[in-house]
C-alpha cells in the first residue's frame, strides 16, 4: 500500500491504479472516499469486498464536471440542473434515472444513479487524470465511522487497498446531502454537508425520505457507528462525569471542569460548521480509547446540525449483542 502526498506525481500514480482496476482512497471536502473506475465492474466489486459492504447498497459516482454527469443519466430535470449549477462542486449528491452505461453493480441494480462533483482539488485532478467517473463510498468498513483524515483510512483499510492520497483533514467533515430527483419531485435521502435551508431557498419544498421503505441504505437505522455504544443526552452535566469508563462528546465547552483525556469538544462556542468538521475525528478518538459508553450531547437540528444529529442517532442505534 502506498501512502502519498497529493502532488501531481502522486495523483498521476493514483490515476494509474484507478485505470488498471485498483482501489485508491482520496480526500474530498466531506470525508475520504474509496475510489475505483465506475465503468469497471470487477474494480467496483473490490470496493464492496474490502468494505464488507452489502451489494444492495449503491455507490456514489464522482465526476469533475456537469457534462460528465450528463453522460451517466437519462435526462437532467430542471431542478437537478439548478441545484448542480449552484452547488457543484460541493457536498451535494443527486440521484437521477441512470443511463445504460452505468454498470448495475454501481447502483445495486437500481434504475437510478447517485452523482456528485466533489469540491476538492485532489479529487477533481484524480478524476481528470483517470479519465473516468470514479465510484466511491466513504473509505471505512461498512457501518463504521467515516474517515476524515488519511490516518483513519490507514488504520481501518490500510493494507487492503492500493494507495491513499493524504490531503489532510476534510473541511466539511460529514458526508454529502443526498437528494433524489424524479421529474419535479425532490426527496431528501440523507441530510449532509449542504444545508437543507440553502437547498429549499433555491428549489422550494423537499420531501422527507424517511419512512418504512428504505430507499437509500444510508437510511438504515444504524450506521456510522463507533465500537463503543453511543447514548445521546440533551446536555452532559457534572454528575455524568462520575459514570465509570465513559467518554464524553460535548457540543460546546462546558462551564465546569472535565477530564480532558475522556472528553472531546465539538466546538468551543457551539459553531455547527466547526462541530460537523470535527464530529468523526472526535468520535474516532473517543472510540480508540475503548470506553464502555460514549455520552454525546444533542446539537440544534438546524443547518449542519441536522446532519450531525442524523449521524449521532444512527451511531446510537447500532444493534449490539449482550456480550459486547
Ligand atoms: O460525501 C460523500 O457523499 C462521500 C464522499 C466520498 O463523496 N461518499 C459517501 O458514500 O458518503 P457512501 O457510499 O458512504 O454513501 C452513499 C449514500 C448511501 O446512503 C447510499 O445508499 C446512497 O448514497 N445512494 C447511492 N446511490 C443511490 C441510489 N441510486 N439511490 C438511492 N440512494 C443511493
Ligand atoms: Mg459511508
Are 184 and 241 in a shared domain?
no
Does the pTM of the predicted model rise above 0.75?
yes
Are 155 and 289 in a shared domain?
no
Average pLDDT over every residue of 72-96: 98
Return the C-alpha cell found at 8.
Answer: 501531481
- Is position 221 within any domain? no
Distance, in Å, from the CA atom of 89 to the CA atom of 65, rounded to the nearest integer, reads 8
Q: Where are the beta strands (DSSP E) in 70-197?
A: 92-97, 112-116, 134-135, 163-165, 177-182, 185-190
- CB environment 84-101: b (16+ within 10 A), e (fewer): beebbbbbbbbbbbbeee
Using an 8 Å Cβ cutoff, are 169 and 148 in contact? yes
- Is position 214 within any domain? no
By the 10 Å C-beta count (0-12 exposed, 13-18 middle, 19+ buried), 107 is classed as: buried
Using an 8 Å Cβ cutoff, are 141 and 88 in contact? no
Q: How far is CA 39 from CA 103, 105, 233, in A?
A: 6, 10, 45
Distance 9 CA to ligand 2 centre (A): 28
Model pLDDT for residues 256-311, shown as the tens digit of each residue: 999 999 999 999 999 999 999 999 999 999 999 999 999 999 999 999 999 999 99
Of 77, 68, 130, the residue nearest 101 (C-alpha): 68
Tell me what pLDDT residue 185 has: 95
Distance, in Å, from the CA atom of 264 to the CA atom of 285, rounded to the nearest integer, reads 8
What is the residue with the minimal CA distance to atom 10 of ligand 1? 137
- Is position 247 within any domain? yes
Tell me what pLDDT residue 210 has: 61
Are 169 and 134 in a shared domain?
yes
Domain that holds residue 195: 2-208
Q: Residues with beta carbon inside 6 Å of ligand 1?
A: 28, 30-31, 33, 57-60, 93, 95, 107, 110, 112-114, 118, 136-138, 175-176, 178, 189-190, 215-218
Tell me what pLDDT residue 225 has: 82
- What count of other Cβ atoms lies within 10 Å of the Cβ of residue 221? 11
Q: What is the largest CA-CA distance in the chain?
A: 59
- Is position 317 within any domain? yes
Are 203 and 60 in a shared domain?
yes
Tell me what pLDDT residue 213 has: 46
Model pLDDT for residues 169-189, shown as the tens digit of each residue: 999 999 999 999 999 999 999
Distance 142 CA to ligand 1 centre (A): 12
- Is position 263 within any domain? yes
Percent of the chain at pLDDT above 90? Answer: 91
Number of structural domains, the chain?
A: 2
Average model confidence (pLDDT) across the chain: 94
Which neighbouring-strand residues pair with 293? 246
- CATH for 21: 3.90.870.10
Give the closest ligand to the alpha carbon of residue 220.
1
- CATH for 235: 3.40.50.11030
Amino acid at each position: 500500500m502506498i501512502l502519498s502526498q497529493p502532488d501531481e506525481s502522486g495523483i498521476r500514480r493514483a490515476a494509474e491504479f484507478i485505470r488498471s482496476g485498483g482501489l485508491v482512497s482520496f480526500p474530498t471536502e466531506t470525508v475520504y472516499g474509496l475510489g475505483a473506475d465506475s465503468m469497471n465492474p470487477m474494480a467496483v466489486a473490490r470496493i464492496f469486498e474490502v468494505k464488507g459492504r452489502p451489494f444492495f447498497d449503491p455507490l456514489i459516482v464522482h465526476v469533475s464536471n456537469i457534462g460528465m454527469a450528463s453522460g451517466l443519466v437519462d435526462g437532467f430535470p430542471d431542478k437537478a440542473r439548478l441545484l448542480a449549477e449552484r452547488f457543484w462542486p460541493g457536498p451535494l449528491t443527486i440521484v437521477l434515472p441512470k443511463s445504460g452505461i452505468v454498470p448495475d453493480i454501481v447502483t445495486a441494480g437500481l434504475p437510478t444513479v447517485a452523482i456528485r462533483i466533489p469540491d476538492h482539488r485532489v479529487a477533481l485532478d484524480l478524476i481528470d487524470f483517470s479519465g473516468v467517473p470514479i465510484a466511491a463510498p466513504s473509505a471505512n468498513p461498512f457501518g463504521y465511522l467515516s474517515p476524515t483524515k488519511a490516518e483513519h483510512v490507514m488504520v481501518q483499510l490500510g493494507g487492503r487497498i492500493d494507495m491513499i492520497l493524504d490531503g489532510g483533514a476534510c473541511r466539511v467533515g460529514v458526508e454529502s446531502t443526498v437528494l433524489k430527483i424524479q421529474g419535479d419531485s425532490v426527496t431528501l435521502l440523507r441530510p449532509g454537508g449542504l444545508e437543507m435551508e440553502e437547498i429549499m431557498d433555491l428549489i422550494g419544498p423537499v420531501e422527507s425520505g424517511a419512512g418504512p421503505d428504505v430507499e437509500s441504505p444510508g437510511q438504515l437505522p444504524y450506521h456510522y457507528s463507533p465500537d463503543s455504544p453511543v447514548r445521546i443526552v440533551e446536555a452532559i452535566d457534572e454528575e455524568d462525569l462520575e459514570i465509570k469508563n465513559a467518554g464524553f462528546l460535548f457540543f460546546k465547552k462546558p462551564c465546569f471542569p472535565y477530564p480532558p483525556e475522556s472528553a472531546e469538544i465539538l466546538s468551543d462556542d457551539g459553531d455547527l460548521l466547526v462541530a460537523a468538521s470535527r464530529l468523526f475525528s472526535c468520535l474516532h478518538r473517543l472510540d480508540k480509547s475503548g470506553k464502555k459508553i460514549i455520552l454525546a450531547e444533542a446539537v440544534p437540528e438546524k443547518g449542519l446540525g441536522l446532519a450531525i444529529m442524523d449521524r449521532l442517532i444512527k451511531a446510537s442505534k447500532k444493534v449490539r449483542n449482550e456480550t459486547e
